[in-house]
Amino acid sequence: MKISEIVDALDATLLFGDDKLDKDITRCGAADLMSDILAAVSEDGLLLTGLTTIQVIRTAMVAGVGAVVFVRKKKPPQEVIDMAKAQGLPLITSPYSMFVSCGRLHACNLTGLDGRR
């Protein structure tokens, strides 16, 4: 699923990543505990989270996450967006809850980080 399609499926706003709209994402994980993302194989996956701290970006960098979706209309502070820009990490903000955001993406055939549906 392309990042542009993820943005559409979530009626979302792209905060950063205009040049990455064609990037393909196949797996998805949702967590507010960063260790859960670090414990899974998150390489090139999508991370949905309700956290907007700088540690989300560092976790994404360490785990090799492909893009981050902030749920519940959350928008991270500018320094968090700047760090993602420096890393070329696309950021998306979804107006839906974690549950609904995940459900919409699952309906679009995204799998979990372990490849299961």
Partner 1 sequence: MSKFKKSFHIKGRDFIRAGEAAINIQNLLKSMDFDPRLIRRIAICGYESEMNVVMHGGDGTLSLEVDADKLILEIKDDGPGIEDIDLAMQAGYSTANDNHREMGFGAGMGLPNMKKNSDQIHIESRKSRGTIVQMVFFLPVGGKTD
Residues that bind partner 1 (CB under 8 A): 31-36, 38-39, 43, 49, 51, 53-56, 58-59, 61-64
DSSP character for 51? -
d(Cα 53, Cα 56) in Å, to the nearest integer?
6
By C-beta, is 6 or 63 nearer to partner 1? 63
Integer Cα distance of 1 and 5 in angstroms: 6
Q: What minimum distance in Å lies between the beta carbon of 35 and partner 1?
A: 4
In whole angstroms, the minimum distance from the beta carbon of 75 to partner 1 comes to 17
